[in-house]
């Protein structure tokens, strides 16, 4: 089957079979920034945005992308590069395999928190929001510091 959707602001057509998962189809189409590890919805590495919402692309059929707007981390290059500086400054990344999914989720979180009118960075809420993104190298303390600093830099 052929799917028509928008990926990172470009209209594209993707070839897939009805049983394919979206992560595999995206990677086969060259979107290698979409990583895949557990393949069961537990690690968050394959996170993409679908119509603005974070979705585990390993746990959704590719057919669901029909007519949707998809964003991978490449579609948020500018924001992700800014965030990456804060992550690096806190040593919150080592192998980097979790980074595309984590950064996408963190940017979605910041956007949602702002929309809710949150003033001060709420670490407990952030931990909840990011609970589906595992990092097996650096742990989560550094990530929280980085996110707090990133949040505060946006308030300046």
Partner 1 sequence: MEISCYHRPRSLEEAYDLVVGQGAYPLAGGAWTLISRKNLSSAADLSDLGLRYIKIEGEYIALGAMATARDLETSSLLAEAFGPLFSQALRGIAGIQIRTIVTAGGSVAGRYGFSELLVVLLALDASIVFYKDRTQCLASYLNAAPGAPFLIEKIIIPRNAKATYQCMRQTANDFPILSICAARTSAGWRISVGARPQAAALCPQAGSFLNSLENPGEDGSKRAGLIAAQELSFGDDLRASAEYRRSICPVLVARAIRELCL
Ligand X SMILES: Cc1cc2nc3c(=O)[nH]c(=O)nc-3n(C[C@H](O)[C@H](O)[C@H](O)COP(=O)(O)OP(=O)(O)OC[C@H]3O[C@@H](n4cnc5c(N)ncnc54)[C@H](O)[C@@H]3O)c2cc1C
Given a contact cutoff of 8 angstroms between Cβ atoms, the answer to whether 142 and 123 are in contact is no
37 binds, among ligand X, partner 1, ligand FES, none (CB under 5 to 8 A by kind): ligand FES
125 binds, among ligand X, ligand FES, partner 1, none (CB under 5 to 8 A by kind): none
- Kindly tell me which residue out of 5, 16, 55, 58 binds ligand FES, with binding defined by CB under 6 A: 58
Instruction: State the nearest-atom distance from the C-beta of 120 to partner 1, in Å.
Output: 21
Which DSSP string do the residues of the chain spell out, in sequence order? -EEEEEETTEEEEEE--TT-BHHHHHHHTT-TTS--SSSSSSS-TTEEEETTEEEETTSSBGGGGTT-EEE-GGGGHHHHHHHHHHHHHTT--SS-TTHHHHHHHHHHHHHHHHHTT--S--HHHHHHHTTT---SSS-SHHHHHHHHHHHHHHH-
Residue 94 is a binding residue for ligand FES (CB under 6 A): yes
Strand partners, 13: 4
Residue 140 is a binding residue for ligand FES (CB under 6 A): no
Instruction: State the nearest-atom distance from the C-beta of 65 to partner 1, in Å.
Output: 11
| CB-nearer residue toward ligand FES: 120 or 137 | 137
Residue 133 is a binding residue for partner 1 (CB under 8 A): yes
Q: Binders of ligand FES among 96-135, rule CB under 6 A?
A: 96-98, 135
| CB-nearer residue toward partner 1: 67 or 91 | 67
Contact residues for ligand FES, defined by CB under 6 A: 36-39, 41-46, 56, 58, 93-98, 135-138
């Amino acid at each position: 089957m052929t799917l028509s959707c928008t990926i990172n602001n470009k209209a594209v057509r993707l070839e897939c079979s009805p049983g394919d998962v979206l992560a595999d189809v995206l990677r086969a189409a060259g979107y290698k920034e979409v990583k895949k590890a557990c393949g069961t919805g537990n690690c968050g590495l394959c996170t993409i945005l679908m119509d603005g919402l974070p979705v585990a692309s390993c746990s959704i059929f590719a057919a669901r992308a029909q007519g949707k707007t998809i964003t991978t981390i490449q579609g948020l290059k500018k924001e992700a590069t800014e965030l990456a500086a804060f992550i690096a400054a806190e040593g919150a990344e080592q192998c980097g395999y979790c980074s595309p999914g984590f950064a996408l989720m963190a940017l979605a979180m910041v956007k949602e928190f702002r929309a809710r009118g949150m003033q001060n960075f709420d670490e407990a809420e952030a931990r909840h929001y990011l609970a589906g993104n595992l990092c097996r190298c650096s742990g989560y303390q550094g990530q929280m510091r980085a996110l707090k600093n990133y949040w505060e830099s946006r308030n300046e």
